[in-house]
Amino acid sequence: MTQNQKLAELSEAGVAVWLDDLSRDRIRTGDLQTLVDDYSVVGVTTNPTIFAAAISNSDAYDDQVHAMAVRGVSVGEALRTITAADVRDACDLLAPVARRTGRDGRVSLEVSPRVAHDTDATAAEAAHLWWLVDRPNLFIKIPATQEGLAAITTSIAAGISINVTLIFSPERYRMVMDAYLSGLERRANAGGSLTGIESVASFFISRVDTEIDARLDKAGADPALKGKTALANAQLAYQAYEEVFSSDRWSALQGRGARPQRPLWASTGVKSQDYPDTRYISDLIAPDTVNTMPEKTLKAYADHGSPGTPIQQTYDEAAQVMKAVTEAGVDLDDVFTVLEDEGIQKFVDSWDELTESVRAELQDKE
C-alpha cells in the first residue's frame, strides 16, 4: 500500500499527523507500523481513557500482570509498569521518525490526573515517568491547570519534554506558552542546553462546540452560530501562537537552540452528526501544528478529507464568532472552567477504572 495522498498533503502543509490511541495489540500486530508507513502518522498520544480501554479489552497484558502478581507489586507500580512498557515500545517503533524529522516520532504519557491540582506532585511524577520510560522521543503530559503551569516550567527547566494537555481558551494557552518560555529561560540561565527539548500544547476542540452548542440552544440563540465556536477558538489560539513565537523574548531563546512549542489540536473527532466528520482537521490546517486523531477520524480524512481555509485567513471572522456567541448570552469564562473541570474528572474516572482493572487482574493472577 502506498502513502495516503490526502494525509501526505496534510503533512506537506505543515500538519504533523498523530494517532490518538495506543495499545499493546496495536504495537504487536503491526497495526501502528502500518499507520506510520501508509497514513503519515508521526506521533502518538495517550490518556487514562485510552489505556483503560486497551487493558480491559485485551489479553496481551496477562503475562506481565501475572509476573507482577507473583512479585507482589502494588497496584500503582503495576499500572505504571504496564503503561510505561507500551509507551516505551511505541517510542522505539517511532524512533526512526524522530531521527528523520528531528521533532516528531513522539509518544505521550500522562501524569496521574489525581495530582492535576498539586504542583509539586505533578512535577515529581513527570520526572519519575521521564526516568521510567527513558526515551528521548517521549512526551510527559501535564494538564494546563493553574497548578500545572508551574509544574510545566519546572519540568522544562529539568530538560523534560512536555505535552501540555486540556487547554480550552486562548487566555490559558498564553499562560502555557509563558510557562514553557519561563522553563527554557530558567534552564538556559543555569547553563543547561536547550537542544532536544520539545513541547506541544494540546488545545481541545470538539468539546467546546458540544458545551457551547447546548448553551446556545438554551439561550434561544441564532442556530447559525452553532458549530462555529470550537474552530474560531482554536484559530485565535493559533494567532496567539504566531504572536508569542515571533517576539523578542522568543528570538533570544531560539538563538540558544530552543524549539517552538507547537499547537496540537486534540479532541478532533466530531461529536455531532450534524457536522462533517473531518471538520476539525480541514479547518485547522496551519504550519507547525499537530493534529492528533482517533483512527476513525484519521481514516475519514484519508478517504474524503479536503483542506479548508488556511488558519491565517480566519482571524477576523473568528473574532466575530466569539463576539456573537458572547452577545448571545454565553459566558465563555464559565464554559472554559466547566470544560477544564470536566476534563480532569473524566480522566480521574478513567484512571480509577484503570486502577480497579489492574487490581482485579493482579488478584486474579495470584
Per-domain residue ranges of the chain: 5-365
Q: How far is CA 224 from the centre of its chain?
A: 30
In the prediction, which pLDDT does 273 show?
87
Please indicate whether residue 12 or residue 362 has the higher confidence score (pLDDT). 12
What percent of the chain is predicted at pLDDT more than 90?
85
In the prediction, which pLDDT does 186 show?
98
In the prediction, which pLDDT does 242 show?
98
Place of cell 471538520: 279
Q: What is the rounded CA–CA span in Å between residue 244 and residue 174?
A: 8
Q: What is the pLDDT of residues 275-328, one digit of tens each?
A: 999 999 999 999 999 999 999 999 999 999 999 999 999 999 999 999 999 999
In the prediction, which pLDDT does 57 show?
83
DSSP E strands, 94-171:
106-110, 138-143, 162-167
Q: What is the pLDDT of residues 143-176, one digit of tens each?
A: 999 999 999 999 999 999 999 999 999 999 999 9
Asked if 166 and 144 count as a contact pair (C-beta separation under 8 A), the reply is: yes
Q: What is the rounded CA–CA span in Å between residue 179 and residue 290?
A: 20
Average pLDDT over residues 338-366: 88
Q: What is the rounded CA–CA span in Å between residue 263 and residue 87?
A: 22
What percent of the chain is predicted at pLDDT more than 70?
99
Q: What is the rounded CA–CA span in Å between residue 338 and residue 52?
A: 24
Average pLDDT over residues 73-82: 90
Asked if 266 and 204 count as a contact pair (C-beta separation under 8 A), the reply is: yes
Query: 20 CB contacts (<8 Å, ≥6 apart)?
Result: 44, 45, 50, 266, 268, 292, 293, 294
User: Model confidence at 359, in pLDDT bands (50, 70, 90)?
Assistant: confident
The CATH number of domain 5-365 is 3.20.20.70: yes
Closest CA to 44 of 54, 160, 59: 54
pTM: 0.95
**DSSP calls for 191-240:** T---TT--EEEEEE-HHHHHHHHHHHHHHT--GGGTT-HHHHHHHHHHHH
Query: Is 226 annotated as catalytic?
Result: no
Question: What mean pLDDT is reported for the chain?
Answer: 95
Q: How many Cα atoms are found within 13 Å in the side-chain-facing hemisphere of 272?
A: 18
Please indicate whether residue 223 or residue 57 has the higher confidence score (pLDDT). 223
Average pLDDT over residues 248-274: 96
Look at residue 366 and tell me whether its pLDDT is greater than 80. no
Among 141, 271, 296, 299, which one carries the catalytic annotation? 141
Q: Encode burial over 266-299: b for 16+ CB neighbours within 10 A, e otherwise.
A: bbbbbeeeebbbbbbbbbbbbebbbbbbebebbb
Question: Sign of torsion, CA 323 327 332 333?
Answer: positive
